[in-house]
Amino acid sequence: MAPRRRRVRAGFVLFAVLAILSLLVLDGAASGMAALAAMLVFIAACISALRGQDAATSAQSDRTGLAGWIGGWF
């Protein structure tokens, strides 16, 4: 397995562990901090997974941010 895929997978596993800890194990402020950390890890793992695309895929893909009815104005 490629090191990049391993790092992305590790990020999602860390998110799952933190989310389970915050929902089922921890209580009070510790649970809130673990949930915040899980959210930040999830965002970082998603960014890391999307960054792994090659340039040809990114250049030919649709820009979803501009694809709505606002996209016609720009």
Cα–Cα distances in angstroms (integers) from residue 52 to residues 37, 43, 45, 63, in the given order: 23, 15, 11, 17
> What is the count of structural domains for the chain?
1
Supply the pLDDT for residue 46. Answer: 87
CA-atom Rg of the chain in angstroms: 17
Residue 35: inside a domain, yes or no?
Answer: yes
Residue 64: inside a domain: no
CB-based contacts of 47: which residues, under 8 Å, 6+ apart? none
Q: Is 2 a member of any domain?
A: yes
What is the residue range of 3's domain? 1-50
pLDDT at position 56, please? 61
Average pLDDT for runs of 10 along the chain of length 74: 72 89 89 91 86 62 57 55
**How confident is the model at residue 50, as a pLDDT?**
80
- Residue 29 belongs to some domain of the structure: yes
Q: How much is the pLDDT for 2?
A: 63
What pTM, to 2 d.p., does this model score?
0.65
Is there a domain that residue 41 lies in? yes
Q: How many helices (H) and strands (E) does the chain have?
A: 3, 0
pLDDT at 48: 84
In this prediction, residue 20 carries a pLDDT of 92
